[in-house]
Structure formats: C-alpha cells, structure tokens
Amino acid sequence: MIAKVSPARVRLAWIGREEIALIDLREEDAFAKDHPLFAAQLPLSRLELEVLDRIPRRETPVVLYDNGEGLVEVAAHRLAGLGYTHVSELEGGLAGWRAAGLELFQDVNSASKAFGELVEHRRQTPALPAHSAKAMIENEPDLVVLDSRRYDEFQTMSIPRGVSVPGAELVLRARQIVPSLKTTIIVNCAGRTRSIIGAQSLINAGMPNPVYALRNGAIGWNLAGYKLETGKSARFPEVGADIEGRARAAARDVSYRAGVKRLDTAALTALALDLRRTLYRFDVRDPSEYAAGHIVGFRGAPGGQLVQETDVFAPVRGARIVLADDRGARADMTASWLAQMGWETYVLEGGFDGALETGEWRAALPPPPRVETIGVDDLARSLAQVTVVDFAASPRHRRGHIPGAWFAVRSRLSQALGVLPLDKPFVTVSPDGVLAALAAPELTALTRRHVRVLEGGTAAWAAAGLAMETGLTNAASETDDIYRRPYEGTDNPVAAMQGYLDWEAGLVDQLGRDASHGFFVI
C-alpha cells in the first residue's frame, strides 16, 4: 500500500523549503494543460532513464501523481526497485489538488516563467514592442540584437541583426560586442522569459547602455506580421581579459546582493557528505567548453537554460545547488537568479585546475534488463517478417524511423496492443536502444511473444546507411508524449501564440493567488 500525502502537506513543504519532489507521471502534453507550480514532469514511460540524475538522493521524499490513469502504483514499484525509500502518492491525484482549491498552472517550465513575469513586474524591465524594435533595427546603426536562447533555437528562427548569446553568456560577453557605451541593446528570445531575464541581467550588472527586452520575443515579431530569419550563425565573440575581469566583478556583486554563498573544493566535499540533503552540481558554461573539460560530477547545464528549466534540471524543491564556471560571471549571474527563486545556491571557487573529464554529459542509468538482441544486418534482412515497435519521442519518430515501424509510448503498451499487428515476432527500437531494452520484457509479459531489441538502436540503423522513413505512418499510441510549444518553430497557429502570451501575462496574479513560491526580486 502506497502512503498518501495531502496537497496541503506538499504545499507546506514548499513554503517551509523542505526537500520534496512532486512528480507528474503523465506525458508532456497532458502535464502542460494543468499541474501544480513546482511539479516536475517525469513520465512513467521514461522514468528509469531520468530519475537517477533528477532525483539523485534515494531518501528524498518523492510524491507521485497522475490524473486517474493508474500510473502511480507502477511508478512506485519501479522506484522501490531502484532504492527509493520515501515514495508516496498525492492524495486524490491532480483532481485532489484541484478539489483542495489550490492553483494549477499551464505550459512547461511554468515556475521559471512565472518568476520572469514577476521580475518584469517588480523591476519594470524596459521592453520594446515589435514595431518599435523593427524600426530601430532598420534605421539605427548603433544597435545590437542579442538572442538569449540556445544556439540551435537561434538557428531555427531569429529576428534581423541577431547574434546568439545564450542567457548566462550575456553579462560575460556583452561589453565585447557593443561598439560603445551608447549602443542600444535589444535582448530577445522566443517568447518572454529569457528576454526579460537577459535584459534585466545586463541592467543588474551595471551595463550603462540602453537595454531593452523585445516584448513577446519572436512570437510578438511573428504576430506583428514581420518575417523571421532562419539558418543564421552569428555567435558571441571571445572576450578580452579586461572585459572578463569587469564582468566577473559585476556579476559577483549581483550574486552577493541576491544572497548567493561561495565555497571552495574542500567545502564542496564536506557539503557532499551531508546525506540528509540533495546536492545538484551544474556546470553553467557553453556546451563546447563543458565537453572540452569539466569537473568530475558536474552536469552540463548552460546557465540561461538552467534558470529557464529549473523543474527539469532540479525537480527536488528545497535542494542545494552548486554552480561551476572557470570565468566566474556566468555562475554568479545564474546563481543570482536561482537564489531569487528560493534555491539554496552556491558558487564554486576554483576546481578547474584538477583532473577534468571530457565529453558530453551522460545520464546515470540502472543496470539494463537481460534481453535478446538482433543486429542491424539481421533486422534489415528480416524486416518483412517482424513488427518493429519504436519508442522514440514522437517528433524524433517523425523525423526518421525504420521503415514500417510502429510508434508507441511505453507506458501505454497494453492499449497499443489493440492496434499493433500480433501475427509476427516483435523487435523493439529506440534512438540508442536503452528505452527499447526496458520495454522489451514488458511487451513479452503482455503478449507472451518473442521480442528482440535492436542493438545500438535506430542510431545504429542510420549509421549503417539503411533507408529511413519519415512521418507518422503507423501509430499505436497518441502522439501526446510531447507538448507542442507555441514559441518554437515557424509554423505555429496564431491563436496558440496569442493564447500563450495571454497566459504569461496572467502569471503574476496567479503567483499571488498561489502564495507558495517564496520568490523575491533584488
């Protein structure tokens, strides 16, 4: 029997800054429609792939919920198998939260977005509407446009004259980019949050230039009928020692005002020995710097994205966060925002002069189940004699999958069997084969049929130069595993974009009604 925790008790933990992880087990689209403020979406279908990094301390109080889909019992069993000892169920699930009269939020990363709206409301962050920004971009030579999103987002779409300077890089690099102290700076993102936080970062750090956020970002630009550019590659430059030193000093002053703490490697070692608390360690530098060499045990989390996606990187509310950055400014500015969002935040001094790891961050995974595998060549020869079930995320499946493969969501396998052909042996696939290996024993248990796993996953199939199919030809599950964000891409419906902006505009009032957040603004 799973213990139950009331919505009021979860809310009290947030207010008291106790450690707690409130986990929504549904797929992303359902989560985006309604969830509590600090809930983190960790779907049952991917639970084992993400939980060890997102909830690293096994004794963390974990509260699970769904909306009547029956996901909690299965998830609790899997977590117990992974060693989690304090797992409970939200009493009444999502409906119980609603019945208690507590606030429900929409979209994804809603806590970070609500905080961004509060920052703009409290600081009156200067902003330009699309028509004013366009006039200045076309007619003002002494102006720079700094795009604060990830580089891949910038390449997908950008406004004219944009230069990619992801959020945490702004304070470090802006002085190198602007020609003079009079140069106007416009900070933009896809919607609102990263524009607001980016512009206010420069203001907080004492940039003397006129600084504006592009109001409503690329959505506002699009809604005004202006064309977005695609495939741009302009990126931030390297910075000189003098500018780096000034940025470091300015950022440290901001973090001090926000109450950020500092520690050295010896103190970090001591902090990590406190097994009563969750400790997240993030390297907030550019991904290329992280891959070239990072401190052992630190996960790559570029600062702008960490502030934007705290629920993804750190779902344990009340945990400690330590940030690393060999240049200082990026960690200090990121930490200043996390501290204002109520996190116990530290900046690591040093640590980069020891032995460093190279390469991209890799998720911690449980031992894989024993499964029978099939190689790429054998599958290619027998493709007509098997049913291939693909557990990739639906957008990735659409971009390319093994010909004839069926899209399925792992947590809905029993429902998918009402659609999948049952007259052939099964082969499960996923991008790297890991999720397919987890799903294979479950498919065997449900069907009592022969199931094999493709070695190396779809990546191995593609690497072998074999044909890939695009689109959604065969779907055994609904494609609601991913929420279509109205601020990403270039073909979003006008109603969806406007609805998103209207929702963001109401977040400050919703925070006031919720009254559990503990945010402050310096």
Specify whether the CB–CB gap between 317 and 21 falls below 8 A.
Answer: yes
Is the CB of residue 22 less than 8 Å from the CB of residue 38?
A: yes
CB 41, CB 28: distance < 8 Å: yes
Q: Which two tokens stand for residue 241?
A: 């020692």
Q: 309 is written with which tokens?
A: 């996606």
Residue found under tokens 């002053």: 253
How far apart CA 308 and CA 354 sit, in angstroms, is 30
3-state secondary structure 301-368: CCHHHHHHCHHHHCCCECCEEEEECCCCHHHHHHHHHHHHCCCEEEEECCCCCCCEECCCCCCCCCCC
Question: Is-contact 429 457, C-beta < 8 A?
Answer: yes
pLDDT tens for each residue of the chain, 522 residues long: 899 999 999 999 999 999 999 999 999 999 999 999 999 999 999 999 999 999 999 999 999 999 999 999 999 999 999 999 999 999 999 999 999 999 999 999 999 999 999 999 999 999 999 999 999 999 999 999 999 999 999 999 999 999 999 999 999 999 999 999 999 999 999 999 999 999 999 999 999 999 999 999 999 999 999 999 999 999 999 999 999 999 999 999 999 999 999 999 999 999 999 999 999 999 999 999 999 999 999 999 999 999 999 999 999 999 999 999 999 999 999 999 999 999 999 999 999 998 999 999 999 999 999 999 999 999 999 999 999 999 999 999 999 999 999 999 999 999 999 999 999 999 999 999 999 999 999 999 999 988 999 999 999 999 999 999 999 999 999 999 999 888 876 677 888 888 888 888 899 999 999 999 999 999
* Phi-psi region at 465: left, alpha or beta (left = phi > 0; alpha = psi -120 to 50): left
Q: pTM (2 decimals)?
A: 0.96
* Residue-level pLDDT at 15: 97
Q: Which DSSP state fits 238?
A: P
What domains are there in the chain, each with its CATH number?
3-108 (3.40.250.10), 122-237 (3.40.250.10), 248-357 (3.40.250.10), 373-463 (3.40.250.10)
SS (H, E, C) 48-96: HHHHHHHCCCCCCCEEEECCCCCCHHHHHHHHHHCCCCCEEEECCHHHH
In this structure, which amino acid lies at residue 225?
A: G
- pLDDT of res. 268: 97
Q: Is the dihedral of CA 353, 355, 360, 362 positive or negative?
A: negative
Angle at 24 between CA 20 and CA 29, to 5 degrees: 145
Q: What is the pLDDT of residue 223?
A: 92
Give CA 74 to chain center in angstroms. 25
Closest CA to 147 of 130, 131, 159: 159
Instruction: Indicate the helix (H) or strand (E) that contains 277.
Output: none
What is the rounded CA–CA span in Å between residue 21 and residue 307? 18
CA distance 453 to 373: 5
- Closest Cα partner for 78 from 38, 37, 44, 125? 44
Report helix, strand or coil for 394: helix
CA distances from 377 to 306, 397, 427, 508 (A): 41, 21, 13, 56
Contact 474, 405 (CB under 8 A): yes
Strand runs labelled E in 110-268? 127-128, 143-147, 162-164, 184-188, 211-214, 261-263
d(CA 86, CA 275) in angstroms, rounded, equals 14
CA neighbor of 24 nearest in space, from 8, 3, 49, 46: 46
* Cα–Cα distance for residue pair 320/159, rounded to 1 Å: 37
Give the Å distances, CA to CA, from 274 to 17, 19, 319: 17, 14, 12
d(CA 349, CA 251): 14
Residue 240: its pLDDT value, please?
A: 94
